[in-house]
């Protein structure tokens, strides 16, 4: 097995609190997406909601994926003032959250 390339993925899986409106949720998602324009180390952003038929989501509803060139680039992102400002808006609106960083790996068969 080998790493696909130097990229590192930053995955945020969350569930918004029940009292957070859809309008506020949409605003927060747009704010998250805009970080790619404000933080140079953040290379891409994608998001979606759970569509699994397995029903193993444990109540989590939203997935946010960002790409970075290195683990060090994620550290720069986490410490960046715009990320800190945004995280202080997002995290209080989440009922629960999991954050995982990983390097994609190719399985050679």
Among residues 80, 83, 86, 102, the one annotated as catalytic is 80
Helix, coil or strand: residue 58: coil
Identify whether 80 is a catalytic site residue: yes
Helix, coil or strand: residue 40: coil
Residue carrying structure tokens 């805009």: 34
Q: What angle do CA 5, 50, 10 make, to 5 degrees?
A: 30
Identify whether 83 is a catalytic site residue: no
Among residues 10, 32, 62, 77, the one annotated as catalytic is 77
Give me the DSSP letters along 59-96.
Answer: T--EEEEEEESSHHHHHHHHHSHHHHHHHHHHGGGEEE
Q: Active-site residues: which are they? A: 77, 80
């Amino acid at each position: 097995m080998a790493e696909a390339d130097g990229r590192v993925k930053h995955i945020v899986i969350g569930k918004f609190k029940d009292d957070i409106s859809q309008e506020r949720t949409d605003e927060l998602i747009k704010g998250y997406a805009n970080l790619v324009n404000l933080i140079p180390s953040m290379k891409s952003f994608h998001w979606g909601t759970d569509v699994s038929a397995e029903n193993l989501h444990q109540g989590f509803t939203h997935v946010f994926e960002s790409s970075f060139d290195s683990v060090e680039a994620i550290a720069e992102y986490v410490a960046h003032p715009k990320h800190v400002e945004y995280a202080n808006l997002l995290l209080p609106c989440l009922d629960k959250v999991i954050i995982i960083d990983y390097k994609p790996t190719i399985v050679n068969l």
